[in-house]
Amino acid sequence: MSRRLVLASASPARLALLRQAGLAPEVVVSDVDESTVTAPRVAELVALLAAAKASAVARRQDDALVVGADSLLEFRGQAMGKPADAQDARERWRRMAGRSGVLHTGQALFDVRGGAIEARDVVVTSTVVHFATPTAHELEAYLATGEPLAVAGAFTLDGLGAPFVRRVEGDPAAVVGLSLTALREQLGRRDLAITDLWRR
């Protein structure tokens, strides 16, 4: 039996991931103010933020599977989201170059039936990302594209930033924005097969 899938995210990357996996989610962006959520550890913070986003949207649904997510780069003990501006992104890259960080993605699946949230399933997928060392020329060119300003950690694995990531240890999809294998397991815990959600 197919169910209505709602993506509680403005992330174009998350929508693309789900569509490329054969799913056709509706997008309902949450209005969560992320600055109001805190946690002592980065992995806990992305879990709380993902759940907050999913909850804010699930409360407005009658019957849906609602997916919320949040990604942060943990680098030298700091949680790094999107850079504040180009200078912030430049300074981050100067510190990240040649080193590694951990990209934590929290994702929450809320199962709503009859207007009631029947289940909440939150998982965090953490992926070690090893950065290359862009030259000053490359870094300035990358910053000028604006891409690093729109993404957590100021890098992408699947975009213009790809040449500056040497390798990852873990789930690449989770770095982009959602772990599809974790989503399959979350659906399984609701006795749902991800293949049953493939668009007709």
- Which positions touch ligand GTP (CB under 6 A)? 9-11, 13-14, 29, 53, 69-71, 82, 151-153, 156-159, 175-177
| Distance, CA of 125 to CA of 86 (rounded, Å) | 28
3-state secondary structure of 118: strand
Closest distance of CB 193 from ligand GTP, Å: 25
* Residue with tokens 């000028």, as numbered in its chain: 144
Q: Judging by beta carbons within 10 Å of its beta carbon (0-12, 13-18, 19+), is residue 3 exposed, middle or buried?
A: middle
Q: Are 118 and 112 in contact (CB under 8 A)?
A: yes
Find the Cα–Cα–Cα–Cα dihedral 123, 125, 126, 132, rounded to 10°. -150
Q: Please name the residue ranges forming H helices in 59-126.
A: 86-96
| Distance, CA of 161 to CA of 148 (rounded, Å) | 8
Closest distance of CB 161 from ligand GTP, Å: 7
Based on CB atoms, which residue is closest to ligand GTP, 16 or 117? 16
3-state secondary structure of 127: strand
Name the active-site residue from 33, 62, 63, 70. 70
Whether residue 70 lies in the annotated active site: yes
Based on CB atoms, which residue is closest to ligand GTP, 113 or 122? 122
3-state secondary structure of 150: helix
Based on CB atoms, which residue is closest to ligand GTP, 156 or 192? 156
Closest distance of CB 200 from ligand GTP, Å: 26
Q: Which positions are catalytic?
A: 70
